[in-house]
Every structure is written in structure tokens, then in C-alpha cells.
Chains A and B, each alone.
Chain A
Amino acid sequence: MISFGLTDEQEVVREAMREFAEQVLRPAGRPADEASELPADVMQQVWDLSLTSTQLPESVGGGGEARSPITNAIILEELAFGDAGLGLAAASPGLFAFAVADFGTEEQQKQYLPAFGGQKFHAGALAVLEPSPVFDVTNLQTTAEAKGDSFVLSGKKRFVVMGDRAEHFLVLARSTNAAKTGFGAVDAFIVPRDAAGLSVGDVELNLGMKAVPTVSLTLEKVEVPAANRLGGEEGIDAARLIAGTRVAGAALLTGLSRGVLEFCIPYAKERHAFGEAIAQKQAVAFMLSDMQVEVESMRWLTWKAASQLEQGTDATKAAVFASRYAATQAMKIADNGVQVLGGHGFIREHPVEMWYRHARTLSVLEGVAAV
């Protein structure tokens, strides 16, 4: 049955997140971007909302609520509406924790998940992206070679969110087992920060999302026990994992875009030129109406993919549509946001110049957030 209806619970969560995003994330976003630093107090406030732990099993100290990619997509839109950078950081524990919850063996869940139900912010990191400009997640250059009762990982990773502080990295690698190709060959390994052969680079300097610390990883014949292969002998459903990260990206981009639109509307109504508000001129009004059309389009594509994930059907295609569509439109919306503000759009006093950088950064990334 086709339905756009939120559950009562989702309505409540959305309202609460919107308020939090407006009151906490929005004001903190600019200073964090300028300082290229995550504000610890804000992150702790986020942690206290239990966004990640709520959906982890009770047996590992979680809230025991059902995993809901739809609810998470709704939350991510709101967080990014406040600030895309802080929103991404806020949701980052889920990158590691949800993957372990969804695909991990019982032992893996017992070992790694309780920390995400604790009192203090606990960083999780997923290493997907690689330095090559022709990155393709179905053809990873980082490899995992079976060797007795362990695996040997080799390769390089980039843009590993929260990698400066994570205790463990969930590293995606292509299994050298030649029987499988594409997503079937993708495995995930839990690699401790102090593993021999792993070097963690300095915090990367990026165009946008500067509040979010990202690092590169170099894996030189890093040997991990077979028990660290996520999902044990069964491995993971990599197509589903990646679809989840794509949907999360689309949700963040939707929130970012809505932020631009809702900032531009009052600005264009206040700013006067040639005797009337610039919003009264079709050239400007139509930029805004187009933003409205596309924000909704992005949101429905995101929800559709999220609902397929939630129902356990193949969401690969819907997730690709959502993420690519959102990437294109978010960039266009942020671009027009700068244009609506004119010269002021170029000045760092207003957030649109930051959102313009955020949009370009976030829209080219994969595997940086999860639902």
C-alpha cells in the first residue's frame, strides 16, 4: 500500500529532532566549521538523545527498538537541516554500530556494541572510500586475502569519518576469493586501531563539512583473525550495507537543501531592490519554487529506498536513484542559495557559503552515514 504517513512515534521524533537541530546544531555549525573542530559539548548532547543505542538490541545495552531505516532517514534530514557537518558527526556512531547490529555474529555484537549504549560519546568508523578518483564500491582496491585462520588486508582508505578517535575501524575490502564478483566480493573487517601494519593519517583538510574529522588509512598486510570478519563465515550483505549509506547520504542532502530553502525565503522577502522584495520577482521566486519541488522529490526518493530497506527487499536501485538525484539537486539548490543572497551569499557571515561547500563535499561521498 502506497503511503506517506508517518507513525505517531515518527512524528514525535521528527518534531524533537527539528527543535534540537534548530536550537543546538544550527548555532554551533558555523563556529565548528571555522574552527575545523567538533564541539565536544554538542556531541555529548547528541549522544544523550540515544540516536544509535535506541535501535540496538537490549542484550547489548541498547533500547531494543526495531531497526528502522525510515525513522533514521527522517532523523538525518532534520539533523542536516540544522547543520550537515554536525548532523553527519552526530549520526556517525551508527555507521559502525548499525552494521555490526545488522550483520554481526552474536559474539561480535556482544563484544563491540555495549560501548554504544554507554554514557559517553563513542565513535564508530566505517572505511569505504579509497583515494582513486575512479572509486567504485563494487570493485574495491583494498583486498582481503584468506591466510589460515586469519585475513590479510592491504590497501588505502580515505575520508574515514571520526577516524581520528575511533577505537575500531570497519574496513570494506574485496575478498580475493575469485568465486565472487561485485558486491558479493565485498567483506567488512573489524580492525583495531593498534593493529600491526595499520597507519592512521592526520586529520584531512576538506572543502566542506570541516567540523567532521576524517582521516586516511593505510593498510600494509594488516592481519586480523577470521573472527573479525563481520558476519563470520556468512559475511555481510554488502549491497544492503551500501544501499543504507546511500540512503543516509540522500537524507542528509535533503535536510541540507531544505535548510538552504528555508533560509532563502525570509531573506528574499526582506531584501528589497527596485521598489519591491526580490522574492516578488519571478526570477528569484522561481528559484525558490524549484528548490521546493526538488526538496520534496529528494525526500520521497529517500523514503522509498528507506522503506525498501526496512521491508527487507532489494533497495539497490532505489538507493542509487535517491543518492544520485539528491547529490545533483543539493548542489544545484546550494548554488542557487548563494545566488539568491548575491554578494552576501559569498560572505561568511551568512551560512549559504558554508552550505555551498557542504553540498559539494557531501554529494560526492559514499559510505559516510548510515540508516
Chain B
Amino acid sequence: MIDFSLSENDQKILDYVRSEALVARKYARHYDENEHEFPPEALPEADQFPGVWGLMGERGEEDSGSSVIGMMVTMAETWGDYSVRMRKGRGVGLGNAALGAAGTPEQKEKWGHLLLSMAITEPGCGSDPSLVQTTAVLDEETDEWIINGEKIFVTTGCRADGVVLWATLDRSAGRAGIKSFLVEKETPGFVVAHKEKKLGIRADDTAAYVFQDCRIPRGNLLGGKEEIPKQGSGGFRGVMKTFNMTRPMTAAFGLGMSRAALDFTREQLEEAGVDLSYGAGVHGLSAAAAKFQELEALQEAAELTVARAAWMADHGMPNNLESSISKAKGGSGVRTITQGCIELLGAMGVSRDHLLEKWFRDVRITDIYEGTGQIQHMIIARTILDYSREQLS
């Protein structure tokens, strides 16, 4: 049955996460201005927040599905701050999503507790991963993969305990030759080369990795399938499948922040005496109120596309199209919303006395990483037109 209300448990979980997120928000500015510092693993208030996982375990059939509530928890977290979190190692890295989608049960058991980054982009390849140059060569004698190559723009790359990376078994096989491998930190030959300086999400580090004759156990190939499919891009599709939860999740990261921007803007407008009530038609509203409500509707629409993609995953429905829709909608939406909030608040919006200018900077990455908005539109267009890569590129 179609329903958009929250169950008691849903509400309890989200209230909890929001109260924890507000603690993170207290430290948000500090870590934004001190990019070189890593947020502490446990903030001084950590003891007051034993963790949401206990609450998550109490959920039943009356409650929203695990992917749906996962997206809402993500939004509630970034509503506090994108990257200042209470503890690390909560299994929330992008690599964890890949592990969850493509790993064998044993692999999930073994690495699920680690914070895993995801390394795809290379100096010479971004949105087109078929150009991956990093290689994985099997050493049959030692039963090890030997990884060689460079990865850049690795989110949480410095703090992560390990990485899921894409490497090719055979460059001549193109996309079909690409596989995912898990490499733990401290593995010889795996070097974190440097940390980038960025427009936003500064407390979340972005790293560059170098792999030089880096040897990992044979069992570190995610999913365990070593053969290269002869035809089509079957293997590659398997790899891309991992994106079906990360795309809506990435949108959710941004939408938590744009929601925070809207909440702040509402507070300020109401304090300034702007009537934001909803009943009247547009003619009954001030220009500021009309604009604000337009941004709010956009936020709602984007959040619903995220919920839709997650709900399909919860019900075992293929959600490739819906994931891209949520990412495209969220990615463009958060830009419009935060830009609009600053427009509404004027000088107050650009002042570093408030977090709005930070949210404006932080959300900008949403439409870029995990596949730009344009890439998402390409996927959507190919799907609805029933076109192959060759027919539309």
C-alpha cells in the first residue's frame, strides 16, 4: 500500500540520528577551516550516543525497509554535517556498499566491519571506467593478485581501513575485463600518495593512491569470479550493479545538507517576519515565500526519488534507472536549493558566521562524484530509449 508516513520506530531512529547529528554540526566549522586535521574518532559527546544500530535491530514489518530507512538515516546524518561523524568504522563507506552488493557472504563477514573506500577514477579516466589502466595479474604460484596503477579522488581514502578498487585483468578485453578487488591498508606496495584540498566536504578526506607490485590474496577478488565474459559487458555490468545503492546514497548525502540549508533559511525568514504558510495560491505569497516553497518542493521531489530507488532495492526490483534518476535529481536539486537559499538570505547567506555558505560549498560535489549528472542522464536516456552504449554516447 502506498504510504509516506513514518512508523514509530522509523521516527525514533531518525530522532536519534538527528540529535547525534547536531553534535557533529557543532564541530562542522572547525574541521572545515582546519582541513589538515582529521575529525576525532570519538567526539567528547560520544558517550551520550551509543549508536543507532541497536535501534535498527528492533525494526519490524510495520517499519520502512532497510534501504529506505538507510537513506533517511544518511540524510539525517549529513543534515548535521557531511563528514564529521562520531565514530569511524561504521561500514558506511562507498566501498562498503560495493562489498554489500558484490561480495560473497564470506567476504562480507570478513570485511564488513571495516571502513572501505572505493577507488575507480584514475588520472586518465573519470566517468568512463572502461579506460581503467590499473592492472591485476594473477601469480598462480603464490595464489596472489599483483596490483599496479594509480587511483585519484578516493573519498575517505586517508581514513579508510581498506579500499575496493577497480582493476583490469586484461586491457584488451575492455569493460568485460574489469573486476573489483579489496586491498587492506598496510599491504606492502599500497601507498596513500596525498590528500586533496577542496571547495567543500573538507573534513572528509580525498586521497590519491599508488599501487606498485601490491600483492593481495587471491580471495580478495570481490564476488570471486575470475573468468572474463566472452561477449558483451556482463562482467562489467556486474561491477556497475554495485552502483545501484551508491547512487541514491550519494544523492542522500547532498539532500541532508540541502535540507539543513532550507531549515536554516526558513528560521531566518520567519524571524524576519516573512509569512511562509501554505494554503494560499501563489498570488497570496510574497516573492520570498514563493521562492522558498519552490525550493522546498524541489527538495521533497528529490528525496522521494531517493526513497523510490531504495524501496525498489528493498523489494528486489532492478533499480538501475531509478538510481540514476535519484542521483540526477538530487545532484542538480541540491545545487539549486543551496544557491537559492543564499539568494533568499543575501549577505547573511554568504557570511561565514553561519553554515549556509559551507553547505553551499559542500553539496556541489553531489552532481559530480559517483557519476556526474550528465552520466546519469546518459543512463536514463539509454534506458528509456532502449539504446546501447554504441547507439548513444
Question: Taking beta carbons and an 8 Å cutoff, which residues of A are in contact with B?
Answer: 1-7, 10, 70, 133-139, 182-183, 239, 242, 261, 265, 268-269, 279-280, 282, 285-286, 288-290, 292-293, 296-298, 300-301, 303-304, 306-308, 311, 313, 316-318, 320-322, 324-325, 328, 366
Let me know if B305 and A5 touch, CB within 8 A: no
| Given A296-B308, A297-B301, A324-B294, A289 and B384 contact (CB-CB distance below 8 Å) | yes
Chain B facing A: main interface SS: helix
How many chain B residues touch A (CB < 8 A): the figure is: 51
Let me know if B281 and A3 touch, CB within 8 A: no
Let me know if B5 and A1 touch, CB within 8 A: yes
Let me know if A300 and B301 touch, CB within 8 A: yes
A-B contacts, 19 of them at CB < 8 A, read A1-B3, A2-B5, A2-B68, A2-B311, A4-B2, A135-B281, A137-B281, A265-B385, A285-B385, A288-B384, A296-B325, A297-B301, A300-B308, A303-B2, A307-B2, A307-B3, A307-B4, A317-B278, A320-B297
Q: Which residues of chain A come closer than 8 Å to B62, judged between CB atoms?
A: 1
Chain A facing B: main interface SS: helix
Chain B residue at smallest Cβ distance from A238:
B279
Q: Which of B368-387 contact A (CB under 8 A)?
A: 374, 377-378, 380-381, 384-385, 387
Q: Does B367 contact A (CB under 8 A)?
A: no
Q: Which residues of chain B come closer than 8 Å to A324, judged between CB atoms?
A: 282, 293-294, 297
Let me know if B281 and A300 touch, CB within 8 A: no
Chain A residue at smallest Cβ distance from B333:
A297
Q: Which residues of chain A come closer than 8 Å to B312, judged between CB atoms?
A: 4
* Residue with the highest number of chain A CB atoms closer than 10 Å, among B64, B325, B385: B385
Q: Would you give the shortest CB distance from A263 to chain B, in whole angstroms?
A: 13
Let me know if A366 and B4 touch, CB within 8 A: no
Chain A residue at smallest Cβ distance from B379:
A289
Partner of A2, one of B6, B283, B297, B321: B6
Q: Which residues of chain B come closer than 8 Å to A136, judged between CB atoms?
A: 280-281, 283-284
Chain B residue at smallest Cβ distance from A329:
B301
Let me know if B308 and A321 touch, CB within 8 A: no
Q: Does B352 contact A (CB under 8 A)?
A: no
Q: Which of B114-140 contact A (CB under 8 A)?
A: none
Q: In the assembly, what is the distance between CA of A307 and CA of B4, in Å?
A: 7
Let me know if B381 and A285 touch, CB within 8 A: yes
Q: Does B315 contact A (CB under 8 A)?
A: yes
Chain A residue at smallest Cβ distance from B59:
A1
Let me know if A325 and B392 touch, CB within 8 A: no
Q: Would you give the shortest CB distance from B309 to chain A, in whole angstroms?
A: 10
Chain A residue at smallest Cβ distance from B283:
A134
Q: In the assembly, what is the distance between CA of A303 and CA of B305, in Å?
A: 12
Q: In the assembly, what is the distance between CA of A7 and CA of B304, in Å?
A: 19
Given contacts A279-B381, A282-B378, A301-B304, 11 further A-B contacts (CB under 8 A): A1-B62, A5-B1, A6-B2, A137-B280, A285-B392, A289-B381, A289-B384, A297-B304, A307-B3, A321-B296, A328-B294
Q: In the assembly, what is the distance between CA of A1 and CA of B2, in Å?
A: 9
Let me know if B301 and A182 touch, CB within 8 A: no
* Residue with the highest number of chain B CB atoms closer than 10 Å, among A5, A136, A289, A307: A289
